[in-house]
Amino acid sequence: MLGVIATEAEEHVVREFFELFKTPWEFYKDNRHYDVIVCSGTSPKLPSAAARLLIVYAGGETDCDDERNIRIESQCRTADLSYRGRRLPIYGNAVTFRQTPTFLTEGAGCKAAAYLHRSGGTVFARVGYDLFHEIETLLRSGQPFHNAAVPTLDLHISLLRDLVVCSGLPLLEIPPVPWGHSFIACLTHDLDHASIRRHFFDSTILGFFYRATLGTAINAARGRTTAGNVLRNWAAAARLPFMYLGVARDIWSDFDRYLQLEQGRPSTFFVIPFQNRPGRSAEGQAPRNRGTKYDVSHIAEKVAQLAAAGSEIGLHGIDAWADSAKGHEEKCRIRDFTAKETLGVRMHWLYSDEKSPAVLEQAGFIYDSTDGYNNTVGYRTGTAQVFKPLSARGLLELPMHIMDTALFYPDYLDLSAQEAWECVAPMLDHAADAGGVTTVNWHDRSIAPERLWGKFYIRLLDELTRRGAWFSTASQAVAWFRKRRSATFHEINGGAMRVIVSDNTGGNLPALRARIHRSQGGGYFDTAFEYKTEIAL
């Protein structure tokens, strides 16, 4: 059991952190003993009771620094630390120490960002940043574009876990890894353009025609596409008048072909509720081109086919992020065509702010999947886990990690297929190592000319399968994490721990796993459980 010392203002952040690092813990009590005590940088004072491991996180001087003759060398606002060879961005204050560098360093590795001291059977660790301030920053503000590739929050969990295990203490946790699988893969599709016929010489069609003709030729000259794709795109551009006349197939209406590509792997389609509604942005009225040329009524038959095939239908919201009444209206519009009482949402153009989770929750949504970047791929909140935003009471956030347009569009990363793979591969490595969920967003028209990104998508599906992912709809992924979050730890006689799961309403979901990290010899072993288990440490 970890004892955590934090201020009252930090309590909500501490609670969410230990939903992500699912291990036995409680707020520190003076009348009991803890093997591990964790103190935040703003805690009023250190505990008087001894612990086998005491960890102090602070981005400035503390009382214990003088007591233990710890000398601070420098202090800065924001820093790039290095932990086990991985970059760890710090968004608040950070300090370095004059001691010999150990497991956490600053800059080129010549400065110690942590101090570790062993004395007999006890260990003292001083870490040069404020853990809970960092977690709050990530959950509230997210990461800037240039740090998107770093799973920063997950690294904070890893660092704390390693401190406990490497100090010779056993550790029980419920990792974010479904039993029988390495991690969760969530395939999603934003339906922005359900029919090319509804776009009659507007900016969308002009962009399509340019990219299908001259843009394709330029990409071929750059080695970014094949001769076969050039011919397919030119042919599609030539058939455009016949698509308008209805005598040629509408190439943007084939989004249901994802069912063939995914070969039984479930996926989630986010659908627009109302046609020609641009909605509002943070600055006021959103650009007119944000309003789509279709709505759910125009694809009602295909929505029914997708649902019958096991796909999930969610809302691609317009104003739901800022107005709960309009969010409820948009939700009801989709519900009319799906007969589903509970829905999830992803906002069109990824509009959101700090208040959005509470607004969406008030509108009746069970999850949001807007957390991501338009212009890059990666971890906006620094995690591969489903989490609860600080402004929400029960709504969970399914982060989005990999998006096709961010990878390939000229205005964004503008990568070749091989460059895109090299960008995505480390994210798959992290998922296989740490668990969590990898959420993919492949748009409706991305398997059609002029994009033709279907080959890359198939390669991604095959790699996710090879790495042992459990493929789920968005609501299934959220339900599994909700089940994990409901698990509670109860100490029983003999040094054992009872784990009880109170929420198992998600249906046929993979089991949880209880993982015990060995105190001696390293490694860990896992035990599967559904509702209750007892673990002897």
User: Do the bridges between strand 469-472 and strand 437-441 make them parallel or antiparallel, or are there none, so unpaired?
Assistant: unpaired
3-state secondary structure of 510: coil
The reply to whether omega before 262 is within 30° of 0 (cis) is no
- Which of residues 416 and 109 earns the better pLDDT score? 416
**pLDDT tens for each residue of 24-71:** 999 999 888 899 999 987 665 677 778 999 999 999 998 888 888 899
For 332-359, how does the pLDDT look when each residue is reduced to its tens digit (9 = 90+)? 999 999 988 889 999 999 999 999 999 9
- pLDDT for the residue numbered 2: 95
Specify the pLDDT at position 341.
80
Q: Compute the residue count for the chain.
A: 537
Q: What is the pLDDT of residues 376-425, one digit of tens each?
A: 999 999 999 999 999 999 999 999 999 999 999 999 999 999 999 999 99
Q: What is the torsional sign of CA 418, 420, 424, 426?
A: positive
For the chain, give the mean pLDDT: 94
Percent of the chain with pLDDT over 70: 98
The C-alpha atoms of residue 21 and residue 15 are separated, in whole angstroms, by: 10
Q: What is the pLDDT of residue 336?
A: 95
CA nearest 423: which of 185, 88, 149? 149
**Contact, 414 vs 396, CB < 8 A?**
no
User: How far is it, in rounded angstroms, from Cα 390 to Cα 20?
Assistant: 13
Structure tokens at 317: 């919201």
As a whole number of angstroms, the distance between CA 26 and CA 48 comes to 17
Among residues of the chain, what percentage have pLDDT more than 90? 84
Whether pLDDT at 114 is above 70: yes
At 537 the pLDDT is 66
Q: Give ranges for CATH 3.40.50.880 in the chain.
A: 2-169
Select the more confidently predicted residue: 108 or 486.
486
CB atoms within 10 A of CB 472: 26
Q: How far apart are CA 263 and CA 405, in angstroms?
A: 23
Q: Give the separation between CA 305 and CA 124, rounded to whole angstroms.
A: 60
In CATH, what is the architecture of 183-195+257-479?
Alpha-Beta Barrel (3.20)
- Fill in the DSSP letter of residue 222: T
Asked if 410 contacts 211 with a C-beta cutoff of 8 angstroms, the reply is no
Torsion angle of C-alpha atoms 137, 141, 145, 148, degrees rounded to 10: 60
Provide CATH 3.20.20.370 ranges for the chain: 183-195+257-479
Lowest model confidence (mean pLDDT) among 340-354, 464-478, 515-529: 515-529
Could you tell me whether strands 183-191 and 524-529 are parallel, antiparallel, or unpaired per DSSP bridges?
A: unpaired
- Non-local (6+) Cβ contacts of 400 within 8 A are 188, 346, 350, 369, 370, 371, 372, 380, 439, 441
Bridge partners of 313, per DSSP, are 269
**Cβ(469)–Cβ(183) under 8 Å?**
yes
Asked whether the predicted pLDDT for residue 21 surpasses 90, the reply is yes
* Other CB atoms within 10 Å distance of the CB of residue 211: 19
Do the Cβ atoms of 519 and 168 come closer than 8 Å? yes
**pLDDT band per the 50, 70, 90 thresholds, residue 227:** very high
pLDDT of 474 over the 60 cut: yes
pLDDT classification of 371: cutoffs 50, 70, 90: very high
Query: Helix and strand tally (H, E) in the chain?
Result: 16, 27
Q: What is the mean pLDDT of residues 437-465?
A: 98
What's the CA gap between 521 and 446, in Å, rounded?
49
Query: What is 2-169's CATH superfamily?
Result: Class I glutamine amidotransferase (GATase) domain (3.40.50.880)
Q: Residue 235: pLDDT above 90?
A: yes
| Coarse DSSP helix, strand, coil percentages of the chain, rounded to the nearest 5 percent | 35, 25, 40
Preceding peptide of 330 cis, ω within 30°: no
Q: What is the DSSP-derived secondary structure letter of residue 62?
A: -
pLDDT of residue 532: 86
Give the pLDDT of residue 350: 98
Place of tokens 């091989």: 418
Residue 173 β-bridge partners: 515
pLDDT for 44: 57
**268 near 311, Cβ under 8 Å?**
yes
The pLDDT, as a whole number, for residue 107 is 75
**Is the pLDDT confidence value at 520 over 80?**
no
Q: What was the pLDDT predicted at 521? A: 64
